[in-house]
Structure 1
Amino acid sequence: MAERAAGSGVQSVERVFELLERIADAGGAVTLSELAASAELPLPTIHRLLRTLVGLGYARQLPNRRYALGPKLIRLGEGANQQLGALAMPQLKSLADELGETSNMAVLDADMVVYIAQVPSRHSMRMFTEVGRRVHTHDTGVGKAILAQLPDEQVRGIVGRAGMPTPTGRSLGSTEALLADLGGIRERGYSVDEQEQELGVRCFAMAVPNAPTPAAVSVSGPISRVDEAFAERAVPLLRAAVEEISAELNR
């Protein structure tokens, strides 16, 4: 018997991905009852789907009976990140060529951000950013640009679980300070890492609108070159880049 479709899709497939997304939104681990309350699905259905996902390795049950995302999703996520990074490379190269500084793309990965693509500056300066590196959201330009797209409650959950280390004296060390900064980012449309991750380095970043996963693009360099005049040139170019990437993703 053919499976009943929901709308234009297959209902059980839609439910599986809804459960996976809700586990991710909960910080990576959730109880069966919490899923039942948020997913609005019958408990037996949720249990059946989870049992299948656990058997396939796309979910796992922890000793405390909570359900977490499974290791098989890592390979899928890495492959998707590589494709997303490759798609953005023309825009990143254009930014680096026009501005002369390093351009990056990063995505939200659980409660951290991971860099998935980079075009380095033509200047010889090594910075903390490199493809594959996972960093906190609250002290990076890309991280704050992404957080500014999320509701405050979700932001509190992310930094509450990940913590808020302060690698420099300029790093934001409290949720209240972060939320105030995010308010400014939402108003102006871009974020600034003001030597918050690395002393001597300034970064301007902007979220990719309507991305399938929260993502942002940044341009960073030494404060001697990345100044207010640089910002006047960089912000319009960043906006054009993220809009082009968004258009490519939604074709």
Structure 2
Amino acid sequence: MIKVLHKAFEIIQCISEYGAAMLPSAIASSVGINQPTCVRILRDLVDLGYIEQLGPRQGYMLSLQGWATFSRNPLIERLLAEGSPLISQYAEKTSQCMFLCVIRNGRRYTVFFRNGHPTFNLVPQRVAYDDCHITATGQLLLAIGPESDRQAYLEQCPADVDHKTLGKLFTKIQKQGFAVIHRKEDFHAIAAYPVYMFGKPVAAVSICMVGDNIKKAEEQRLIKAAESCAKELSSRLGVHLP
């Protein structure tokens, strides 16, 4: 049992450090066990909620729970400690879905999520997005982050992504200080605001607005709620907003 637990933690560490989805063969080779044993441990870790299988032959990644639990990053721990109760509070107050996200090496990660909507069963499908420009938090953090990070992201974008259009979007977000995406087929809108620490943006808070008949005034109220949540979290982190 102890050996199995040891290998389970090795597998989690291996997947965490790799970042992208890993196939069982690569995981087994990395941790030094045979593939059938590796697959059995992977299934147990999926059942426990620490990793997720993206699909047949697509590999495994840390789940939202796994990433939050095993990411021993002081910043992430601080964000979780201060942010999770606040995000939960705002999700319940607005009856909407709230996210706390960061960007690492061109990938957008969900650090914490709370669904406060009474009927809409939203569950994050992925803990990380490589194409983070399609998310409001990803757009925001890329736009207000270092120029070198934006350029690196643009260089690795798929060929069908219009760099000029994306660059204009980043400029717009920089000027207004937040990002909003409207996508009526899934939800009404998502709005994201930055969270600051040591004078630098370290994360983003977003609100997913769910509802068929959300009027402009209600949309603005929810956007303001996301802004208030981000500012309050920044204040709890003990920094002055720029």
Structure 2 CA distance for aligned equivalents of residues 98 and 243 of structure 1: 16
Aligned position for 1:38: none
- Correspondence for 2:204 among 213, 216, 219: 216
Query: Rg: which structure is higher?
Result: 1
Aligned length: 167
Q: TM-score, normalised by structure 2?
A: 0.59
1:118 positional shift? 1.2
Gaps of 5+ in 2: 1-69
CA contact (8 A) 2:181 2:190 kept: yes
1:88 positional shift? 0.6
Name the SS for the 1:148 alignment partner: helix
Aligned position for 2:79: 84
Task: Give 1:19-38 correspondences, 5 Å limit.
Answer: none
AA matched with 1:207: P
1:128 positional shift? 5.5
Structure 2 CA distance for aligned equivalents of residues 127 and 164 of structure 1: 28
CA contact (8 A) 1:204 1:219 kept: yes
Structure 1 vs Structure 2 CA RMSD: 2.8
Aligned position for 1:126: 121
Name the SS for the 2:86 alignment partner: helix
Structure 2 CA distance for aligned equivalents of residues 174 and 213 of structure 1: 26
CA contact (8 A) 1:141 1:192 kept: yes
Aligned position for 2:105: 110
Aligned position for 1:150: 145
1:192 positional shift? 1.1
Aligned position for 2:224: 236
CA contact (8 A) 1:142 1:217 kept: yes
AA matched with 1:189: G
Structure 1 CA distance for aligned equivalents of residues 166 and 103 of structure 2: 17
Q: TM-score, normalised by structure 1?
A: 0.57
CA contact (8 A) 1:111 1:159 kept: no
- Correspondence for 1:246 among 226, 230, 234: 234
- Correspondence for 1:187 among 170, 175, 178: 175
1:199 positional shift? 3.5
Aligned position for 2:43: none
CA contact (8 A) 2:141 2:201 kept: no
Structure 1 CA distance for aligned equivalents of residues 211 and 155 of structure 2: 30
Structure 1 CA distance for aligned equivalents of residues 148 and 98 of structure 2: 30
Task: Give 1:190-205 correspondences, 5 Å limit.
Answer: 190-195=178-183, 199-201=185-187, 202-205=189-192
Structure 2 CA distance for aligned equivalents of residues 236 and 179 of structure 1: 26
Structure 2 CA distance for aligned equivalents of residues 83 and 151 of structure 1: 22
Structure 2 CA distance for aligned equivalents of residues 165 and 91 of structure 1: 39
1:114 positional shift? 0.5
Name the SS for the 1:143 alignment partner: helix
